[in-house]
Every structure is written in structure tokens, then in C-alpha cells.
Structure 1
Amino acid sequence: MKKIFTSVFLLLFAFPIFSQTQSEVVEAIQKEAYENSQLEILAHELLDDIGPRLVGTPQMQQAHDWAVNKYKGWGISAENQQWGEWKGWERGITHIDMVYPRVQTLNGMQLAWSPGTSSKGVTAELIVLPEIKDSISFRKWLPTVKGKFVMIAMKQPTGRPDDNWKEWATPESFEKMKTEREEMTKEWNQNIKRSGYDRRSIIPALESAGAVGIIDSYWSRGFGVNKIFGARTKKIPSVDIQLEDYSMLYRMVEHGDKPKIHVVAESKDLGVVPTFNTIAQIKGTEKPDEYVILSAHFDSWDGGTGATDNGTGTLVMMEAMRILKKVYPNPKRTILVGHWGSEEQGLNGSSSFVADHPEIVNNVQAVFNQDNGTGRAVSINGAGFLQSYEYISRWLKAVPDTISKHIETTFPGRPSSGGSDNASFVAAGAPAFNLSSLSWDYWNYTWHTNLDTYDKIVFDDVQSNVILAAIMAYMASEDGSKTSREQIILPINDRTGEQQTWPTPRVPERKGGL
């Protein structure tokens, strides 16, 4: 008997049994988040050192490898899973200078995937689109673009955002400006339409006619802020110039000054490169084949460093996984995190994962996605799952009131058909929920712009989102019940009179830009 007692004692000593209550785990999550936060370190390494993560660039690959190494350093298994190929491209030095009638360095940058110039650059006169009578007159005008830079954006009547006008202008002046802008925009669009092209298709026509470069300015209705997207030229450079300088150049052309600019854009075409999702997981102990997924897209546009779209979402999910591994290392269900590639071009990484891993998607307990800026989460929609109130509300009860009091829930809500990666899972019938955030002027100032940088991050709000994501993942993992996938019956479409249907999985683009 003594020997048996001794053997049992030694076994218990060698393999201690940890039994944590829900309140203890929730408290431990908060304690680790507040007292040992890694958010600023992660943000510096990802945003300052690696920078923007445009699909197909070396920086995107560097970010994938960095994330895998971080997870492995925390004792979490991780890998990069290839889902496709993309046009390989690397941004180089961009320098844009006015050289006539005077010298001034201009604020602007190359558009993504734009063809480059030599290190000597290109110097040429600027020209704007004329008033177009019809497609015949436009074809007659086209040869005049040969050897010139063509400006393809309208001249904005103001560089001040509307809220600045509303605060300082008289009501009459404010309304006058808005009316003028609406009329100018309408006429600009109609003018391009009369050419026989649209805003996109006119660019290849200008290139074919001999233009040496395309000059755009996609103002985002804020001080000094432009949206930076992709080029549509094959051999000549495309650059975006900030509104302040673009408007000056446009006025010079209008007044017959014949301004000239010098553009150096040393980008590199890297051929075809593989594209990946970074996947990490903490394996479940009781139900390893059921999954709680933390979700955030990893790629960005590259006007800034992709800080709020979606650097902050990425940081939230990485930090949540780090904390869960430390305080909840043996989850009931497998907790998986997906850092998706090429969300910006149409949810390609996440929709590829959904298509390639039905064994995971069919056994999803819940997906928690974050993707809209730096603000604290203030809204959770039931995504059209009829019983979502029952389990989301139950999990939210464990979230501290300091965080949950700011969150408005909508049940059963409606299924997302796009916008972010939760839609890829919803379309496949998996309960996926977006942790929607406060704006912080996201749409005008940081969404896809040249100002989406580290300094715009509000770390207090990001920290709150980490705690929310970690607790929701913990509660979903521990839940004794499997979540219901019962869907609502969608209403009749008022416009068409037809019954609305659940979104269907999209076919991902697996060979992008090629």
C-alpha cells in the first residue's frame, strides 16, 4: 500500500493537474495584455522595419517569414501555405520634380506595380485632358499626347476637407463649394465618357498614343492625403501626385505655362512569385478537429506602411495568440490564426483557404475577424446566423465591462458578402463575425492612403481589441455546445422583387497581375 501511495504521489508531482476557472483565465488574459504587452514591439518590427505588404513584393514575403518565426518563438506551430502566384514587383526610389517654369520637388509616389524608369528618369511637358465633344474628336486629339505626361484627374475646387469648411465657412459658402464640386465631378465624368472610354480604359489608350507617363491624383478628402492603388500601364510609369501640387500643375497647364516635370521611378519587375497565407495554431486537447479561428488580412496597399489596414488587425491576432498560448496552452478546441494574403484584391487568400481546407471550414466553431482601422471594437453583427445571439451573447458576458460596454450587437444580422475575410467563411456557411471598430477618420485619412502609418495607431484601443479577441476565442473554445449554423431567410429585394439568397463562395484569383 505504501509503495502504491508513493507511486501515485510521484505521478501527480511529475504531471501536475491545472484546473483554472473561467474568471482566472479571463483575469490572466487581461493581466498579460496590460502588464506584458508586445504590441509596440510587434508594430515597430512589422510596420517600421518591414513596411508595406503589397502582394507580390519581397516585403510581403519578409512579413510572412517574420510572423512564422515570431509564432515559433512563442512555442506556437506556424507555416506559410502557398495558395497562388502573383506579379512580382518591388518599389524603388520615386522622385518627382517640377523643372519648368521653376524648380520644386513635388509630393507624390509611384502607383503599385507601375513600370519603372531608368535611374536618369524621364523629363517631359504636362498636358491635361481636353474638353471632349465625342469619340471622333478625342481620337483626333490623341496624337498630341506623344512625348508628354498626361494628367488624368480633375482639378479639385478645394484641398480642405468638408468638416473644415463646415466649421469655418458661412453656410452659404459651404453649400456653394459642394455644389461647384458636384457639378465639376459630373462634368469630368461625362467628359471622359464622351471619349468612348472610362476612367480605367482611357489609360491604355493614352499609353498606346505615345504618352511618356500617367499623372494621377486620387484625393481622399483630407489634408495632404491621397489614396494609392495600382497602375494600369504596361511600359510607362504611373505616379500619383498629392492634391496640393497636382492642382498647381493643372493651373499652370490651364494658363499656358507649359510646365515640365522630371520623374524617377526605380521599381523592379520581379516576374512571377508565390503567394501565401501564414497559418498558426494551438492544438485542441479535447476536440482538436473543431476550430476557433482568429482572422486578419496580412497584405496592404503600399502608399503608407499599412498600419491601420490591416497592421492593427494583424497585431491584435498575433498578440491574442501569444497571450492564449501563455495562459491557456491546452485549449479544448484548436485555436487557429489566419493571416491572409491579397485581401485587398478580392479576399483571395482567405477564399483560397476556404476552398482548400473544407475539413477545417466544416468544423469551425467561430471566426473572429478584424480589419477596419485602429479603433476599439464597437459592433458585432450576427452575420445572418439565426442562433448567433445565444452563443455570442454568452461569450461576451466574460468580457470585462470596460470593453463590452462599448460594443453594440445586432442579431441575427445579415451575412457579409464582401468587405473583409469573414465574408469568405460566411459564404461557406461557417459562423464568422467581424469585430467592427470606431472610425478615427479611417475612410478619409488612412484607408489605402499615403498616411496609413504607425503614428496613426491608438494602442489603447488595439489593446482592448486584443483582450476582446482572446477572451472570445477562449470562450468559444471552452463552450460545451457546437455553434448552430442555421441561417435566416433573407428578405425580398425591394429593387428587383426577387428573394435574396445567401452569398456563395467566390472563386479566388490565384494568378494575379499576370
Structure 2
Amino acid sequence: MIRKITLLIALLLANSLFLLAQEQDPVVQAIIKEANENSQLEALGHELMDGIGPRLVGTPQMKKAHDWAVAKYAGWGITARNEQWGEWKGWERGISHIDMVSPRVQSLRGTQLAWSPATPKKGITAELVVLPMVKDSMEFVRWLPNVKGKLVMVSMMQPTGRPDYNWEEFATEKSFARMKEEREEQTKAWNENMRNMGHNTRSLPGTLEEAGAAGIVASYWSQGFGVNKIFGAYTKTIPTLDLELEDYGMLYRLVESGQKPQLHIVAESKDLGAMPTFNTIAEIKGSEKPDEYVILSAHFDSWDGGTGATDNGTGTLVMMEAMRILKKAYPNPKRTILVGHWGSEEQGLNGSRAFVEDHPEIVDGVQALFNQDNGTGRVVSISGGGFLDAYDYLGKWLNPVPQEITDEIETSFPGTPARGGSDYASFQAAGAPAFSLSSLNWSYWNYTWHTNRDTYDKIIFDDVRNNAILTAILAYMASEHPEKTSRTKAVLPISNRTGEQLEWPTPRSPERKGGLD
């Protein structure tokens, strides 16, 4: 009994000593103090999201953001540069104005899609038509002459503009079930009709353009109140627009009831030809092992329906703030701390893939990479990424992080490597220990991911501040770690889809001339 009590006392003493050491680590305490008492997150977010705005690859705003970041780092005494890795189709958004002019007058809510051709200066006025229900592609070909001079509606009219959670809260079970069944049948019929036409959402706009359509009108509802996904156009000479669900549904019903609605559209934009594309790289040089790297990672580009606030403005803010804090609290790191603000992640991880391909010596020297991408929420999940020994070092690095932050985080080891999704996958494919700091949802997928509502007001700064503290402490601990991290790969599990053992992903080359024919 005495022996058990002695052992318990020893364990409690060891734990108390560890907690005391944690509390007394001056760098950790300086990181927490700076983050909480001198946060720059709100100011950075305002400058980036409100001032510069969305950061579509190939636009002047993307280049402006790169230059802004370099200047910010310079102001903090951190060396930074813009590193060109390719070219992209250059384009600049102008004014979009969409009005129904018949059978009555109403201004509509919508915008042109990225890389959409412009209308003539005075705009276009044309009647709307909807796609026919056809038995096969020949019937569709026979119908095609009907689109000449018309605006073609290419999206299914949604049966409801209320998200499912709203139905679930207020509808009767019978009513909710009937709506879902009718929507499922309608969606199935729509998809079958697309197959009968011999097209998909990518190929159809070009065919309609060749047949003489005046423009393409779509509506990509994101299953939330007032929210649509905004991506890119597939036309070369005629405008492509996205209308919010409410206006799109009204127009669709007017067409179907034979009232021949007409729109007047002004969609201004500029084709800028080939534009250089960049990654912004900043670093605090290591004092003992400068050729080993702790990398902070976030993509800089966005789609441009909103201002790219949670995808990935918040990840960008986390990494910039962490670097600012580290420069102040830990100015002479053991290893080089490098941050990568990657370009053209949205089109296939192109910036990070280019960096991995162009800098094998840095990839070989990676101690750890921490990536944050999926929204404004506090980090709630970290996976070992398929690295067998990740628990040994990540567990130690998480220990000094305040408990109010780590209590929210679930870890899984060894995990599996990513095959896409965000930029850490580019490094994992090359065998570098790279980890995703995965965030709480905050209705990300429906309301802000690639939508017209991804704006500054959706940022939860308390969560972003915690993420900056977490990232800075992880970077500090990884830099100070006595050994270089193990890259031993775990034996991957059997795929549920194929029944075969998963293989480690291999590096892929980036697209270095995007959208350029």
C-alpha cells in the first residue's frame, strides 16, 4: 500500500513539474501574451478581405495581395519574396448588372462567373429559354437552333429555397419526406436528361455558344438561405451568369408559363492575356540548422463570389499572425521557419505542387509543415498523415499549448496521407511530414465555401486567434525538437472501395499555363 502511495505521489510530482515547466517556458508565454494582447488579426483581415478583396488566380487583385503580404512581412522585419511559378489566363471583373425588363421590371441578384467574356458596353437584351426534355442527343441537336439570340437557363429549378435544417425544424414529418422524395425524383430526371443530351455542366455551355446563344444563365445553389457557389465560365465569347435561387426560380416559372421573360444584362470584364502567377514566401532564418525547415502553409488565392474570407483568408491570417508573433517572441529559431502563401490552390494545388517540384532541397529538409484551410473555426482535428511516428513528436509539441485549445482537438495516429484537398497533400506526396490543422465547421460547406457569402463578417476571430497561438507554439516546438522528425510511413489500410491496400500518393506536376490555349 505504501509503495502504491509513493508511486502516486511521484507521478503527481512529475506532472506538477511538467506543468510548471510549461507555464514557465518564456517563449510559450510570450507567444500567448502577444496573441492575446496585441492581435493584428482584425486589421489584417480588413485590409485583405475588404481592401483587396477576392484573389482569383490571374487577376490584378491576386498580384496586389502578394505585394501586400511582402510589404507586411518587411514591416515586421521578416524577409519575404514573390516567387513566380507559372502563368494564368488574366482577367479582371467589372460591374455586373442584371435586370428583368419583361413582363415587368425588376433588378436581379447575380453575377458573372470568373473568366466570363464581357457583354458589349451597352449590354444585351434577350429572351430566356429553358432546356428541353429529350429522349436522346439527336433530339437535342434538332432543338439547338432555338437558342439563337436567346439566354439559356442551364440549371435545374430547385423545388424549395429553404435548407433542409429549416424544413426539419418546422415541417411535419410527412411534408418533409414528400419534399425530399419529389426533389430526388426531379434531380434524377434532370441528370438523366443531361445524359440524354450527351452533355455535362462543362461541355453544355460551349455547345450552346456555338449554336448562337446570347448568354448562359445558371444557378448553383449551396443549400442555404441566399447562398450560391460561384465558380468559372466555360464560354469564350458570350457571358455566363449565376443568379441567386430566388430570382432564377421566378424566371424559370415565367418561362414555363409562357410569359417569355427578357433580361437586360451588363457584364463588364477585361481579358488581360497571360499573367504571371506567384507564391509568396517569407522566412525567419534558422540559427543552428538553417537547412531544416518548419513550414507554415495556407493558400492565398480564392474564388471571387465573395471576398475569400474563410477560404482561405482565415488560413492566411493565421499564418501571417503566427509569423509576426514568432518574429517577436522567438526571433532566432533553431531551424528556419518558412511560410508559404500558395497560388492557384483552387485549380488543383498548383502553387504548392510547383514549390515542391522546384525546391527539392527544402522538401528534403522539412521538419514539419502545418496547413490550415477549411474555414474560420478553431482547430478540432489533427491527423498523423500516415507517418508512423507522428504521435511521438506531435504529442510532445502539443503539450505546451494552452489546455483550452487542446481540449478541443482530437488527434488520430498514424492516419493516412491526403490525395488532394489542400496544399499539405503536395508535401505529403513527396514524403515530407505535413499536417492539416482541421477546423470546426461553422456551416462552412453550405454557407461560405466558394460562395457569394464568403465575406469578412463570417470570420470568428476568437477561433482564428486560438489557431494562431496553436500554430506559433507548434512551430516553436518543431524548431526546437532535438532530432529531425521521422518520415517512416505506416502500412496503409485496405481500401473500402477497391478492397486493395492503399498506396502512398505520388507527387503531381502543377498546371503552369492555366486557361491559356
Same fold at TM > 0.5: yes
The one-letter code matched in structure 2 to 1:445 is Y
2:359 alignment partner, one of 357, 360, 373: 357
1:479 alignment partner, one of 455, 460, 481: 481
2:410 corresponds to which residue?
408
Matches within 5 A, 1:118-267: 118-267=120-269
Distance 1:169 1:181 in 2: 15
155-164 or 490-499, larger mean C-alpha shift: 490-499
Distance 1:180 1:460 in 2: 42
489-498 or 147-156, larger mean C-alpha shift: 489-498
Structure 1 residues 22, 332: closer, same or farther in 2, change over 3 A?
farther
Q: Is the 8 A contact 2:30 2:329 kept in 1?
A: yes
The one-letter code matched in structure 2 to 1:282 is I
The one-letter code matched in structure 1 to 2:225 is F
Output the TM-score relative to the length of structure 2: 0.95
1:397 corresponds to which residue?
399
Distance 1:400 1:326 in 2: 19
SS where residue 324 of structure 1 aligns?
helix
CA deviation after TM superposition for structure 1 residue 196, in Å? 1.5
Output the TM-score relative to the length of structure 1: 0.95
CA deviation after TM superposition for structure 1 residue 511, in Å? 0.3
2:104 is the counterpart of 1:109 = no
The one-letter code matched in structure 2 to 1:308 is T
CA deviation after TM superposition for structure 1 residue 21, in Å? 9.6
SS where residue 223 of structure 2 aligns?
coil
2:370 corresponds to which residue?
368
Structure 1 residues 121, 172: closer, same or farther in 2, change over 3 A?
same
CA deviation after TM superposition for structure 1 residue 310, in Å? 0.1
SS where residue 184 of structure 1 aligns?
helix
Distance 2:76 2:200 in 1: 51
CA deviation after TM superposition for structure 1 residue 22, in Å? 6.7
Stretches of structure 2 that go unaligned for 5 or more consecutive residues are 1-21
The one-letter code matched in structure 2 to 1:303 is G
Deviations 1:162-194 (CA, angstroms, capped at 9, x unpaired): 000000000111111111111111100100110
2:38 alignment partner, one of 14, 36, 39: 36
The one-letter code matched in structure 1 to 2:187 is T
Distance 2:254 2:455 in 1: 32
How many residues are aligned here? Answer: 495
Matches within 5 A, 1:1-12: none
Q: Is the 8 A contact 2:23 2:29 kept in 1?
A: no
2:311 alignment partner, one of 302, 309, 312: 309
1:8 corresponds to which residue?
none
Distance 2:23 2:259 in 1: 75
1:10 corresponds to which residue?
none
1:271 corresponds to which residue?
273
Stretches of structure 1 that go unaligned for 5 or more consecutive residues are 1-19
Deviations 1:174-222 (CA, angstroms, capped at 9, x unpaired): 1111111111111001001101112221111100000000000000000
Distance 1:166 1:491 in 2: 37
CA deviation after TM superposition for structure 1 residue 119, in Å? 2.3
1:296 corresponds to which residue?
298
SS where residue 355 of structure 2 aligns?
helix
1:13 corresponds to which residue?
none
SS where residue 221 of structure 2 aligns?
coil
CA deviation after TM superposition for structure 1 residue 336, in Å? 0.1
2:415 is the counterpart of 1:436 = no
Identical aligned pairs, as a percentage? 73
Q: Is the 8 A contact 2:255 2:261 kept in 1?
A: yes
Distance 1:172 1:24 in 2: 61
SS where residue 331 of structure 1 aligns?
coil
Runs of 4+ with >4 A deviation: none
CA deviation after TM superposition for structure 1 residue 494, in Å? 3.7
CA deviation after TM superposition for structure 1 residue 133, in Å? 1.4
2:454 alignment partner, one of 452, 455, 464: 452
